[in-house]
């Protein structure tokens, strides 16, 4: 798929619309579509919502991105990752109908999700945007039941704009006239104002978030996850008016979402270190703030950091936020990712902040150099998180 289609961001929905016309637009005949956009928390919110709904015996299909280890993670059909056989058959059909016309990787894989969900119906279909909202491939869906906007911050500014208002405007592009929206708690007032302005313009109801108790047990780590869980709970109540709080608790407690402040309890890295190791895909300033809160709360002293980042990310801004928790930094170039910062580039950037950064050849090299007595955090990119989980021989199901 990567060889056939460019892995680029090209905001033009015409290609996908033409392709889906050939399949009679399955995306517009799906049951109860929930569409989620935002900068941070989309995946976690979707995961919480899925588990709450399934705890109430509702079937759920869910489309998320990116994947960490296997592409199948993007398309989940009623509690299971899409099988290789079904996925390959659908992709073959999509390629045939597309007839070698230009199309991006994300567009053609989104088309596969639309077709898969049509052929394997569920009570609820959840779609997470890849980037932005207004011109995201998932936004060719017209018949939505509910939209959700999670926390908005600075990310992908080269595509979405260099102000919170511009970014929020792009995210608000998933909204539809008379379709209710749930707006998660925003840390930036400009984002909230922009979203409410669009909601009013489209004459739609903005559903107030119903907060869950901080005493609730969550399957995901970090205080910020209570915001995502509350957003998901509010969405579940929209579909289940007579919701069971005991089943909500069950769903929240069993929620998993790999690569998000994930503490390793087994696997190759765990066996190698025999000490605290956390993997987190944070890659922007808001993600760094969340990490800072987590590291502060856990009071384990200084951490060793293995860092790999894409070259459109601000390495220095990320580290300024977590600087008080750093013992040693080990920089790597993310394997197989052409737009990764090089380990040497990361070192140059961080040396200007006064850090003594170690350049390492690969993840295994970094793991060997980082002393095993100090807790370890592997962070900076979901691609690095996926690489680390694969190295750890973690099975995502």
Query: Which pLDDT tens digit goes with each residue over 276-296?
Result: 999 999 988 888 999 999 999
- Give the H/E segment covering residue 112: helix 105-119
Average pLDDT value for residue range 364-376: 95
Please determine, for residue 158, whether its predicted confidence score (pLDDT) is greater than 90: no
* pTM, 2 dp: 0.93
Q: 212 pLDDT band (50/70/90 cuts)?
A: very high
Say how far apart CA 322 and CA 307 lie, in whole Å: 12
Sheet of strand 181-183, all strands in order from the earlier edge strand to the far edge: 80-81, 75-77, 60-63, 124-128, 33-37, 146-149, 181-183, 206-207
Average pLDDT value for residue range 146-159: 80
Q: Is the CA virtual torsion 371, 372, 373, 375 positive or negative? A: positive
Q: 162 pLDDT band (50/70/90 cuts)?
A: low
Helices assigned H by DSSP within 218-312: 225-239, 245-253, 268-273, 285-298
Backbone angles phi, psi at 262, to 5 degrees: -100, 115
Average pLDDT, the chain: 93
Please determine, for residue 10, whether its predicted confidence score (pLDDT) is greater than 80: no
All domains in the chain, ordered by first residue? 14-253 (3.40.1190.10), 262-391 (3.90.190.20)
Q: What percent of the chain has pLDDT over 70?
A: 95
Q: What is the pLDDT of residue 161?
A: 58
Q: Contact 62/76 with Cβ under 8 angstroms?
A: yes
Q: What is the pLDDT of residue 157?
A: 55
Average pLDDT value for residue range 103-116: 94
**Helix-strand-coil split of the chain, %, nearest 5:** 45, 15, 45
Q: Which residues of 62-97 are buried (b: 16+ CB within 10 A; e: fewer)?
A: bbbbbbbbebbbbbbbeeebbeeebbeebbeebbeb
Say how far apart CA 383 and CA 309 lie, in whole Å: 8
Say how far apart CA 113 and CA 101 lie, in whole Å: 19
Say how far apart CA 229 and CA 395 lie, in whole Å: 24
Q: Contact 331/308 with Cβ under 8 angstroms?
A: yes
């Amino acid at each position: 798929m990567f060889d056939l289609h460019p892995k680029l961001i090209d905001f033009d929905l015409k290609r996908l619309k033409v392709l889906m016309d050939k399949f009679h637009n399955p995306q517009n005949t799906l049951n109860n579509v929930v569409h989620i956009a935002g900068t941070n928390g989309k995946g976690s919110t979707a995961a919480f919502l899925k588990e709450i709904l399934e705890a109430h015996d509702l079937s759920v299909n869910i489309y998320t991105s990116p994947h960490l280890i296997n592409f199948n993670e993007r398309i989940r059909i009623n509690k299971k990752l899409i099988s290789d056989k079904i996925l390959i058959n659908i992709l073959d059909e999509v390629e045939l109908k597309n007839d070698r016309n230009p199309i991006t990787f994300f567009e053609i894989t989104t088309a596969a999700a639309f077709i898969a969900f049509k052929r394997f119906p569920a009570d609820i279909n959840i779609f997470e945007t890849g980037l932005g909202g207004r011109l995201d491939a998932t936004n060719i869906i017209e018949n939505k039941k509910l939209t959700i906007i999670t926390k908005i911050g600075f990310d992908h500014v080269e595509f979405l704009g260099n102000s919170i208002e511009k970014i929020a405007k792009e995210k608000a592009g998933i909204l539809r006239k008379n379709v209710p929206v749930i707006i998660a708690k925003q840390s930036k007032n400009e984002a909230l104002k922009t979203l409410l302005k669009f909601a009013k313009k489209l004459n739609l109801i903005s559903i107030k978030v119903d907060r869950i108790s901080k005493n609730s047990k969550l399957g995901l780590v970090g205080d910020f996850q209570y915001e995502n869980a509350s957003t998901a709970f509010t969405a579940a109540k929209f579909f289940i008016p007579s919701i069971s709080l005991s089943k909500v608790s069950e769903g929240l407690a069993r929620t998993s979402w790999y690569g998000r402040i994930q503490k390793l309890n087994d696997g190759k890295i765990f066996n190698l270190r025999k000490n605290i190791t956390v993997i987190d895909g944070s890659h922007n300033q808001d993600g760094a703030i969340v990490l800072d809160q987590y590291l502060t709360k856990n009071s384990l002293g200084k951490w060793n950091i293995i860092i790999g980042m894409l070259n459109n990310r601000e390495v220095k801004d990320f580290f300024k936020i977590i600087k008080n928790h750093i013992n040693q930094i080990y920089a790597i170039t993310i394997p197989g990712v052409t737009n990764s910062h090089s380990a040497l580039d990361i070192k140059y950037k961080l040396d200007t902040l006064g850090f003594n950064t170690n350049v390492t050849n690969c993840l295994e090299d970094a793991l060997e150099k980082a002393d095993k007595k100090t807790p370890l955090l592997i962070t900076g990119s979901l691609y690095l998180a996926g690489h680390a989980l694969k190295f750890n021989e973690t099975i995502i199901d």
